[in-house]
Structure 1
Amino acid sequence: MTAQPTVTTFAGLHHRPGEPLLLPNAWDHASAAALAARGFPAIGTTSLAVAAAAGLPDGAGATREQTLRLALTLGSEPYLLSVDAEDGFSRDPDEVAAVARELWVMGVAGINLEDGLGPSDRLAAKVAVPGLFVNARTDTYWSGDGDERDTLRRLDAYQQAGADGVFVPGLTDPGRIAALVRRLDVPLNLLYSPGGPTVAQLAGLGVRRVSLGSLLYRRALGAAVDAVADIAAGRTPGGTTPTYAEVRALERSVSVSRSANSTG
């Protein structure tokens, strides 16, 4: 297996004209390993899946412990990892910076930080860890009314503060996307929408990163429910089902001593 790619490689994945970084989002070791095995050089995490797995609300700053635990599990793997850290789990820039430092030590290459709809200082992470790729997210389209002036104001502030990329989930209009790309000096990240432009179309518009967010996790939940419904109805479940051996093959090589506590 080759050595873990460097952080500069992760930044480089955002600067390939006509070839945006397609970033699939995992929620545990097996999902990340399976995606990496399909050739994806970088994997992201999804805050919704982390929260849902623990029965906690998403976007409420309640999953700091679970997010860091997942990052610790995935950060030493040979693929590049970007962590969805909501808003940094704090309104205190020093605490956001502390999260960034912890992730960096774990081997994380990038962090995604959102601003919700209120003013916030998210770029403390970049100041604290200059090598960490900071993707600054604004929710003006995702949770707001898509006000263009407000969106540009926020993105300009992030660029000036040193963000490596900016993320505008919910934006799907081709004209607005192209105009925003022309305005930006850093890579634009958009959230893939099944009803929106394709990855190829987004590439043509100048988008440099396309995230899948919680889509794969939600599809996995849907597939599980559909499968049990098919079984209950006497039908054979459709779709792809990895074998037991294939899932076991995703395990990390771990040496476990069963006699560590024995007296023999």
Structure 2
Amino acid sequence: MLQSPDMLSSSLPGAATEVRMPVPETGPVWTVRGKLSPLIYRLIAVTSFLLLLSAWWGITGSGLVEPLFLPGPVAVVKQAYIWATQNDLLSDTAISVYRVLAGFLLSAVMAVPLGLYIGAFQPVRAFFEPLLEFSRYLPAVAFVPLVLLWAGIGEGSKIALIWIGTFFQMVLMVSDDVSRVPMSQIEAARTLGATNGEVLRKVLLRSSMPAMFDTMRMTLGFAWTYLVVAEMVAANSGLGYAILQAQRFLQTGKIFVGIIVIGLIGLLTDQGLRFLHRKLFPWTK
């Protein structure tokens, strides 16, 4: 049975017994790349939100800004209640979530295999990467007339715009995740007789899955940012549509409600994906 050097040294006659001090889980707060306990992390996070809310409340309560331009927290809460009870906030939220998830999942289904091949094979990278680098700088808003022409005014046009906003970024990020897999793992698989397909499935895909999961989490945020653009396209429901309608009628409180709801959904989704990442890939902690 092989032993580690530390075990061997302690087993030699006359060897001094090495005393190991326990490594603390947390250190000084301001240590570079230091760690915080979960409780302290949560307290600091809650404090940041409370400070933001306090500043908002203080500015609006001082009368320095007209409520038309910056309504107070109480006015926003009242508007949220009206929207929820009279104007069907839940339905608007549900349709927006559906559009975001549909566009995002369509992007993921296409981007993951393509990014895997781009990161694995240089000829594929040479063929696709310049096209993708060019395409990711094209503004999704500029595609609105073409999307209306190609997909009509139904749900397909909104999903297509969210796909345009997320796919090109996602595929390049996935290819970078695959490219960062250490070459030593590929060489070890080759030594054991692995074929190209086996290296692709059992080495590159599995090794890059934690990083790909983080990429999915980040690009889901991109999908939410393109929601308002997507719901500009002949929509009559959804959070983005409601925000645009509120802008036309100077309903600033409703605009704030829509923005806050999107932010809360994004925050909850992000924290849920973080938790799932820790459960699926515990070795990356």
Task: Please indicate, yes or no, whether the TM-score normalized by the shorter chain is above 0.5.
Answer: no
Q: Give the alignment's TM-score, normalised by structure 1.
A: 0.24
| Greater helix content | 2
Higher relative contact order (CA 8 A, sep 6+): 2
Q: Give the alignment's TM-score, normalised by structure 2.
A: 0.23
Q: Which of 1 and 2 has greater Rg?
A: 2
